[in-house]
């Protein structure tokens, strides 16, 4: 018997931050594919860091303990910071278009703020102020 799809099964799929992370990852991958001049190491590092944001958010939402959740949300936010640093390197070394830079930068900034909100909410839940 086939199951009917009735919506998101996993908690992270319901988070606005997850949708935004998917959007920025799409933009990053599209940019990297279209720019063959960028060093392969930098490309790989950016792909891994950007993917890490989504993966750590997903893993954090799957954890039961508050401290465990918080740890993965912090790692996701740290990966966001790493992506911004890579973005700045690419802008400077490879003359990234200013408009593309601004769009991706703003997305990372919003993701960082949303992840900080998740981190703070886990602290409140744990009574850690």
Cα distance between residue 110 and residue 104, in whole Å: 10
- Output the pLDDT for position 127: 66
What mean pLDDT, rounded, does the chain reach?
Answer: 92
- Output the pLDDT for position 124: 76
Checking if the pLDDT of 63 tops 90, the result is yes
| Residue 99, both tokens | 């408009």
Fold of the CATH domain 27-126:
de novo design (two linked rop proteins) (1.20.1440)
Checking if the pLDDT of 4 tops 60, the result is no
What's the pLDDT tens digit per position in 78-116?
999 999 999 999 999 999 999 999 999 999 999 999 999
- Output the pLDDT for position 9: 86
Cα distance between residue 54 and residue 65, in whole Å: 19
| Residue 48, both tokens | 């891994």
pTM: 0.88
Checking if the pLDDT of 21 tops 80, the result is yes
Burial of 92 (0-12, 13-18, 19+ CB in 10 A): exposed
Cβ contact 28:47 at 8 Å: yes
- As a whole number, mean pLDDT of residues 40-56 equals 97
Checking if the pLDDT of 22 tops 80, the result is yes
Domain boundaries, the chain: 27-126
Q: Is 39 helix (H, G, I), strand (E, B) or coil?
A: coil
């Amino acid at each position: 018997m086939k199951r009917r799809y009735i919506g998101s099964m996993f908690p992270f799929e319901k988070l606005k931050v997850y949708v935004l992370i998917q959007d920025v990852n799409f933009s990053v991958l599209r940019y990297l594919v279209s720019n063959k001049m960028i060093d392969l190491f930098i490309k790989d590092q950016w792909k891994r860091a950007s993917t890490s944001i989504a993966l750590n958010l997903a893993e954090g939402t799957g954890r039961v303990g508050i401290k465990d959740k918080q740890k993965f949300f912090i790692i996701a936010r740290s990966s966001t910071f790493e992506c911004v640093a890579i973005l700045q390197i690419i802008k400077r070394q490879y003359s990234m278009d200013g408009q593309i830079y601004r769009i991706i930068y703003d997305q990372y900034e919003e993701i960082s703020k949303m992840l900080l909100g998740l981190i703070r909410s886990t602290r409140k839940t744990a009574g850690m102020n």
